[in-house]
Amino acid sequence: MDTKVINLYNENDNNYIEDCASIIKEGGTVAFPTETVYGLGANALNGEAVNKIFIAKGRPSDNPLIVHVASIEDARKLVIEITKEALLLMELFWPGPLTIILEKSNIIPVEVSAGLNTVAIRMPAHSIALNLIKAAGLPIAAPSANISGRPSPTKGEHVVEDLLGRIDAIIIGDDCKVGVESTVIDMTGNVPTILRPGGVTKEQLEEVLGEVAVDPAIDKGINLEEAPKSPGMKYTHYAPKADVVIIKGSKGSVIKKIKEMIFENRQLGKEVGVLCFEDTSLEYLNVIVKSLGKRDELEVIASNIFNLLREFDKTKVDIIIAEAVDERHIGQAIMNRLVKAAGYKVIYAKDNT
């Protein structure tokens, strides 16, 4: 398949947007930037078009998709009812990195909802994404624009690496500012429940809603027989080619443990990469070191994480040893992505005391 690659960056060329909107309306697939990660879009009301997303990504078809809209009125057509609490979230956090799950209307095809009676909806905070949705005149189903299981794309070059020749068009814009996917919150139960942490934090949601639960599957995943209620709950996600292991503990104990693991792995003839913070980046010698940034600048770390995992793929490392991130605020989303990239391999470093 020939893939049309369009460089827009911060410019909104209406002709190119209209061309890509036509591809969507005709049942094709278009990758486009959002504030979270790049998305791979198709007509959310056309099951055959949506299937092309699964084929291009190699994504399991029981993994539900997020539907992107350009207004709250667009969302009303896709659900049975927008509850008072859901409407409040839309008014406060849309456009932005918050996906809201509600009971779906009968116009949502089974390919989008993966057989569930719910649909996940969000309004992206990116001019290219919004202009594309408006020009298409229909909702766009869009997971991340990468091969399934790979680190999510936060740069146009990541999309080209994964999907050139697999989809109809790629719109390359600016780098994604948030850097991790949207928060997914289920508003269909008695207590609003976070199914995936993301760009809107639990603390922010609690300020608006009061009690907010967190699905236990965020930390441990679900078994292969269960149907995922949200993207990112069931299958391997965000993984680079090398094995990843995360080290938790005090700063000193983490440094000590990583140095021990570097020695052990090098003795086995393995090339080692270390993903750490700016203040510890000089601690690790004779390995490939990539810095997430300052440990207290969580928004910067979020915008860096997927790109750094992809950068390791350009090296010959066999294992990536990562320092754990503070799980406050957006740090919860960062650690969620890291833990999934590591296949839940987390080591707790012991203090010397």
- Partnered with residue 273 across adjacent β-strands are 288, 320
Q: Flag whether 126 is marked binding.
A: no
Q: Flag whether 63 is marked binding.
A: yes
Q: Flag whether 71 is marked binding.
A: no
Tell me the two tokens of residue 26.
């005709």
Q: Flag whether 188 is marked binding.
A: no
Which three-class secondary structure state does DSSP give residue 301?
helix
Q: Flag whether 152 is marked binding.
A: yes
Q: Flag whether 144 is marked binding.
A: yes
Tell me the two tokens of residue 117.
């009676």
Rounded to the nearest angstrom, the gap between the alpha carbon of residue 122 and the centroid of all alpha carbons in its chain is 13
Smallest CA-to-CA distance from 154 within 304, 25, 297, 28 is with 304
Whether the ω angle into residue 197 lies within 30 degrees of 0, i.e. cis, is no
Helix crossing, 84-93 with 202-209: angle to 10°? 130
Rounded to the nearest angstrom, the gap between the alpha carbon of residue 33 and the centroid of all alpha carbons in its chain is 12
What is the sign of the dihedral through the CA atoms of 351, 197, 97 and 16? positive
Whether residue 139 contacts residue 71, with contact meaning beta carbons closer than 8 Å, is answered with no
In degrees and rounded to multiples of 5, residue 213 shows phi and psi of -90, 165
Smallest CA-to-CA distance from 151 within 303, 37, 310 is with 310
Provide the b/e sequence for 183-200 (b: ≥16 CB within 10 Å). bbbbbbeeebbbbbbbbb
Q: Flag whether 223 is marked binding.
A: no
Q: Flag whether 10 is marked binding.
A: no
Distance CA 158, CA 160 (A): 5
Q: How far is CA 256 from CA 53, 250, 284, in A?
A: 44, 10, 10
Q: Flag whether 68 is marked binding.
A: yes
Tell me the two tokens of residue 144.
């991340």
Q: Flag whether 196 is marked binding.
A: yes
Rounded to the nearest angstrom, the gap between the alpha carbon of residue 210 and the centroid of all alpha carbons in its chain is 26
Interstrand relation of 288-291 and 272-276 (parallel, antiparallel or unpaired): parallel
Q: Flag whether 349 is marked binding.
A: no
Which residues define the annotated binding site for L-threonine?
Answer: 36, 68, 122, 142, 182
Which residue numbers belong to the known binding site?
36, 59, 63, 68, 118, 122, 142, 144, 152, 182, 196, 238
- Residues within the annotated binding site for ATP? 59, 63, 118, 144, 152, 196, 238
